[in-house]
Structure 1
Amino acid sequence: MSVQDSAKQIYEGVGGEGNINYLTHCVTRLRFRLKDESKVDDAKMKQIPGVMGINHQNGQYQVIIGNAVSDYYAAVVKLGNFPTDENSDASATATAAPAEKSGNLFDRFTNFISSCMSPLIPALIGGGMIKVVLILLTTLHWMSATGQTYTILSVFGDAPFYFLPIELAITASKYFKVNQMMAVIAGAILIHPNFIKLVNLGKPVHLMGLPVTLASYSSSVIPILLIVWFMKYLEMFLEKYLPASLKSILKPLLEIFIVGVIGLVVIGPISTWAGDLLSWIVLFINKHASWLAMPLMAAFMPLIVMTGMHWAFAPIFLAASVATPDSLILPAMLAANLAQGAASLAVAIKTKNKNTRQVASAASISAFLAGVTEPALYGVSLKYKKPLYAVMISGAVSGLYMGIVHLKSFAFAIPSLLSLPQFVNAKYFSNIINAVFVAVISIVLTFILTMVFGFKDDPDPSASKTVAPAAAGASASATATVEQTSSTVASGAKTTKKVFSPVKGELITMESVNDATFAQKMLGDGAAVIPEDNHFYAPFDGVIETVFPTKHAIGLKSDTGIEVLIHIGLDTVELKGKYYTAHVEANQRVKKGDLLMDADLDAIKKAGYDTTTPVVVTNTKDFVEIQPSDKTQVTNDDPLFYVV
């Protein structure tokens, strides 16, 4: 299924434009803020192709996608008109529903930080990786640290961090729905060259007699976020009390003046002191009990990522990596990220299921090379649980070693094998050696533990499965073996063939169909699907025998002799082809997965028809038995039933 199709299902699954307050995304997740999360069916959402999992976190409905999240984000944005990173404007969304207020104060604060930081992560990763490359080039003496090329490339790497106040002004203005350009001006005031010059002189600075704290706000996070929060209430006040005739002039004038004064005299200093205190506490704990702090952080990092709170820690490790080396968060992420990669690699090697091997292999590469662990976490570790235990144990052991040697990161980059140069520093040559040692411990120990612990593997697609006799009293010889592969294989004197589902949806037995003709198997045996997608695909390789003039049904014959009728909806012959679009014609050859028909299911339902789709083997008498799949949710990649 294409990204566009999956995006449409996601969009419809969350309730469409009418239920979406706001949408943003981070490295791996679509982050919706919905009016009513109870309208979303989590189980159906998880079944959408491309969706690795969902998470409810602090007022956000998070849909975990993985590395392709930006493609899904762009596709969803095209489907409706709602506030997003690209189109949100305070003036245009004044009547939009307010941000969620659920959760305790800490939850709401971390949600605020995470929501504002998430859109910036790609830029921060890009800048961080440039800094990593520069560290590597200068350490290997392939580039001079005094040359112009180095200086300009340093500008490339530093820009995303230096201008953080302006970047965060944009995201925070969307969060609080304040005037975006006014928020940008507030960020610009904090890092204006003339103000920075006054700070660098080191002499007392006053604004209209009020003391201004000598603080540098470049690369800062908290000050601008608090200033934009203040702007929300200031704009409400000005909007209410300024006379309409003068509002267009007085409002921007007063807003810039008041925000500038309050920002430099009150909010900036308070947030600076609070940030210094928080950094001091974190560094104090890490300095005096790093042997405990580090293993705990590394062990529980997967759970922190699972809640989506890992970017809520961004202000701490950003401040650390910009001003001083980070000796807590980023080293802990190194151990945890590589452990996830190793666990996925072990599962890929140990599993006998081809699909699991593909998912685990891709997740392993993502974690090892990019430090993106959501595919491994949601596709492997959490799914099988025991690999997660291995990851956490390995994290604790690696963390203990990191705490003892005081491992430090000297650049902000998502820790992975490719970003190991972030641990390089000419003054601390042993640091990179310790980082490599941590990587080895994490990978080897997790791999071994995962192999030892094992996991409950999914059924092997090529393994056999016993099917019950077709009728009571049948002899043991009537029992068949079902090969769950796309090919036909011998099983004694009988063979078993696969018929895949033509559409994504819920599998039900033929007896459950609300139509006596099908339920009593007058046309033949088979199974039925309650479709969740408008697209119907070929269930095998074969030939189209019939496309009914009313398009509601298609007859096919497989290359192995199975004759199938796909009947899209019950009594839908009465629609006379309305809401159906055929993509094939009689006598046309098709391959499994080729598009056969589009049906507007919503329109069919509104017209009063049941969309249940029976798939009938019309030459049932030629076979021993039709055995439905034991799955409850199917796609075109899943068997609907087995023909013995």
Structure 2
Amino acid sequence: MDNKQLGNEIVELVGGEGNIISLVHCATRLRFKLRKHSEANKDALTNHPEVITVVEKGGQFQVVVGNRVGKVYSEIMKNHAIKGGDEGAEGGGEKVSVVSRVFEYISGTFSPLIPALAGAGMIKALLAVLTLLNVLDAKSTTYAVLNAASGGVFYFLPVFVGITAARKLNANPFVGGAIAAGLLEPNFTALIEQSGNINFLNIPLLAIDYSSTVFPMLIAIAIYAMLEKVLKKYTPDTIQLFFVPMISLLIMVPLTALAFGPFAEYVSAGIGSGIVFMLDKSAILTGILIAAAWPILVILGVHWGITPISIANFSRGGDMINPITAAATFAQMGIALGVYLRARKNKNLQSLSIAALLSGLFAGVTEPILYGIILRYKKLIPILLASGGLGGAFIAVFDVRVFTFVFNSMFTIPAYSPMVGYVIGISISFAAATILTFIIGAEGKKKEGKKEEGKAEVAATAEPAVTNMKNSQKTELSSPLVGEMVPLENVEDPVFSSGAMGKGVAVEPTEGIVYAPFDGEVSILFPTKHAIGLKSDDGIELLIHVGLDTVQLDGKHFSAYVSQGEKVKKGTKLVTFDIEGIQKEGYQTTTPVIVTNTDQYLDVVPSTFKHVNSKEPVFTVIK
């Protein structure tokens, strides 16, 4: 299908010209701003042979078409009366709801903290194993030190939340952290032990232990961000450095202690009590509902909104939400195993399934299963809901609880109590999902037939063009950036993490420079400079996408040193970008590096380096 025809069909399927306010594109997708999302035929677009997938995010309707996006965009703009960029912003359209903004705020606050929380949680699990096996005495100095290593991030969690929440809202992150620190300072915590009425300027004050809390700071920082903007607007530049932080602390610390803190704690406690009430009335029904709803919340991207409630439950006798959601997590792993066992003739699907299964079992990361397999084969969704709900009911009946933040993997089993009830619940979910998937299968004949014809498919690469291993050739590609390696499936964008655009890796850059990883040509350079496509002299097509959703910056913080069509040598400086500036705008700098013509190669194998520079390989392309 040519680009003009594809463009015309996409316009028709999103509701026609009249439903389109504006259109922009990035490295992989057409980003429509629509008047009514309900007018778009999402199912037809998702199943279109030339469309990789559809994503609704941030008020945009995104149609992913891959490398040809620029040409398709040009044809649409040439043949339709559609405004580009944000020109149509005044035309109304569907605004992002308040609920979506709240969950985006919570998600953006917690995402940077997940590695620290998960790492500390794993130490908690390790300590549980060592004490259970009598390898370590819980009263020993060694245990005390390791327990401090695992507990410190949770005790001072309000400080970390203050920093990341302020950064998400483009306020001074360290002032945000200082607001939280004021509520953990010994002089304030000493008020908790005082008997009788205490007050601040004759206003009654309820002193609360804010350690390990998150809701109070989420509210406080949202107010602080607005306060800071007002203060900066009316404060002379000569005194802003000290005056704005000073007034912010003078207002926000007392205000949080007097109002936001108690209110947030009451709300959090109320939600927790509501769940306990439901468990008391019907543990089975509650377990089924929570476990079945969890994957849906993940797909909608609102699951992080539950995290503050779970963390708040640690100090109230343990959290019961996380153990129940583990049933859904292990049900996804069971589905991956069932698909692997069933898809004997589809080597690509088998490869995807086993990789996704190992990611879930060892790291508790199941997004590759959810986005790459379950959403691809809709027949698996009922299996997920049924299997997860069944295990969730058992876990709820056993009243399983957890007292620290952990991902649901095989290594964190000792963190749950009672462990036996937890193991029974997740085992039931895993076994039920595996058996049902193996019996029912995932593939639909019509859809599989279409895929076998060589059409674009989501989350799995096509059959390699070369299958003779004896005659294969290997090409190592140097890293285009300096930074930390990130598995592609861990990237917080389903289009990249699912492998829909091709195989590759991601790099969390520590230096804002993109280098040419080989001799070749600049095949495409986007006007926003956030993404660049390269083609090597021997035919490897590479996409380097700096950050996630950074197209929204419209070129801000980016500079290009080459032009489209220009020949480059390995090591040539291509693009520079301001890491801190991008992050302050609220965007991640995680950079996917993708071989977009993966289907022309036998495999793309990531390297084992944790830190890479321009002299070290990020992956090997096997021809």
TM range (shorter): 0.5 to 0.7
Per the alignment, residue 15 of structure 1 pairs with 26
Give, as a single letter, the amino acid of the residue that structure 2 aligns with 1:400.
A
Matched, 1:603 2:564: yes
Per the alignment, residue 380 of structure 1 pairs with 373
> Does the residue aligned with 1:418 lie in a helix, a strand or coil?
helix
Quote the Cα distance in structure 1 between the aligned partners of 2:210 and 2:252.
Answer: 15
Matched, 1:212 2:174: no
CA contact (8 A) 1:583 1:595 kept: no
Quote the Cα distance in structure 2 between the aligned partners of 1:349 and 1:136.
Answer: 32
Give, as a single letter, the amino acid of the residue that structure 2 aligns with 1:334.
A
Once the 2 structures are TM-superposed, how far is the Cα of residue 102 of structure 1 from its aligned partner?
3.5
1:448 equivalent among 421, 435, 441: 435
Quote the Cα distance in structure 2 between the aligned partners of 1:298 and 1:219.
Answer: 25
Quote the Cα distance in structure 1 between the aligned partners of 2:401 and 2:445.
Answer: 40
Give, as a single letter, the amino acid of the residue that structure 2 aligns with 1:273.
Y
> Does the residue aligned with 1:216 lie in a helix, a strand or coil?
coil
CA contact (8 A) 1:353 1:459 kept: no
1:200 equivalent among 171, 184, 193: 193
CA contact (8 A) 1:386 1:450 kept: no
**RCO (CA 8 Å, sep 6+): is it higher in 1 or 2?**
2
Write out aligned runs for 1:413-562 (5 A): 413-424=406-417, 431-456=418-443, 486=466
Quote the Cα distance in structure 2 between the aligned partners of 1:289 and 1:580.
Answer: 58
2:154 equivalent among 134, 144, 161: 161
Write out aligned runs for 1:43-442 (5 A): 55-57=55-57, 102-242=95-235, 246-327=239-320, 329-351=321-343, 352-424=345-417, 431-442=418-429
Pick closer, same or farther for the CA change 1:447–1:63 going to 2, 3 Å.
Answer: farther
Quote the Cα distance in structure 1 between the aligned partners of 2:287 and 2:453.
Answer: 51
Pick closer, same or farther for the CA change 1:234–1:455 going to 2, 3 Å.
Answer: closer
Give, as a single letter, the amino acid of the residue that structure 2 aligns with 1:447.
T
Give TM-score, length-normalised by structure 1.
0.58
Matched, 1:637 2:599: yes
Once the 2 structures are TM-superposed, how far is the Cα of residue 125 of structure 1 from its aligned partner?
0.7
Quote the Cα distance in structure 2 between the aligned partners of 1:267 and 1:423.
Answer: 32
- Return 363-372 or 406-415, whichever deviates more: 406-415
Give, as a single letter, the amino acid of the residue that structure 1 aligns with 2:437.
T
> Does the residue aligned with 1:355 lie in a helix, a strand or coil?
helix
Task: Report % sequence identity.
Answer: 29
Give, as a single letter, the amino acid of the residue that structure 2 aligns with 1:300.
A
Once the 2 structures are TM-superposed, how far is the Cα of residue 254 of structure 1 from its aligned partner?
1.9
CA contact (8 A) 1:398 1:442 kept: yes
Per the alignment, residue 89 of structure 1 pairs with none
Give, as a single letter, the amino acid of the residue that structure 2 aligns with 1:635.
N
CA contact (8 A) 1:57 1:308 kept: no
Pick closer, same or farther for the CA change 1:233–1:443 going to 2, 3 Å.
Answer: closer
Quote the Cα distance in structure 1 between the aligned partners of 2:596 and 2:536.
Answer: 22
Give TM-score, length-normalised by structure 2.
0.60
Total equivalences in the alignment? 424
Once the 2 structures are TM-superposed, how far is the Cα of residue 404 of structure 1 from its aligned partner?
2.5
- Return 173-182 or 238-247, whichever deviates more: 238-247
Once the 2 structures are TM-superposed, how far is the Cα of residue 154 of structure 1 from its aligned partner?
0.9
> Does the residue aligned with 2:427 lie in a helix, a strand or coil?
helix
Quote the Cα distance in structure 1 between the aligned partners of 2:365 and 2:198.
Answer: 45
Give, as a single letter, the amino acid of the residue that structure 1 aligns with 2:288.
P
Once the 2 structures are TM-superposed, how far is the Cα of residue 208 of structure 1 from its aligned partner?
2.4
> Does the residue aligned with 2:376 lie in a helix, a strand or coil?
helix
Give me the CA root mean square deviation: 4.4
Per the alignment, residue 89 of structure 2 pairs with none
Quote the Cα distance in structure 2 between the aligned partners of 1:255 and 1:236.
Answer: 11
Unaligned ranges ≥5, structure 2: 1-23, 35-41, 65-92, 455-462, 469-500, 503-519, 525-532, 543-560, 567-594, 603-623
Indicate the structure (1 or 2) with the bigger Cα radius of gyration. Answer: 1
Pick closer, same or farther for the CA change 1:59–1:176 going to 2, 3 Å.
Answer: farther
Once the 2 structures are TM-superposed, how far is the Cα of residue 130 of structure 1 from its aligned partner?
0.8
Per the alignment, residue 471 of structure 1 pairs with none
Pick closer, same or farther for the CA change 1:247–1:174 going to 2, 3 Å.
Answer: closer
> Does the residue aligned with 1:167 lie in a helix, a strand or coil?
helix
CA contact (8 A) 1:55 1:307 kept: no
Unaligned ranges ≥5, structure 1: 1-12, 20-31, 65-99, 425-430, 468-482, 489-531, 534-550, 553-567, 570-578, 585-592, 606-632
Query: C-alpha deviations, 1:614-640, integer Å up to 9, x for none?
Result: xxxxxxxxxxxxxxxxxxx98342499
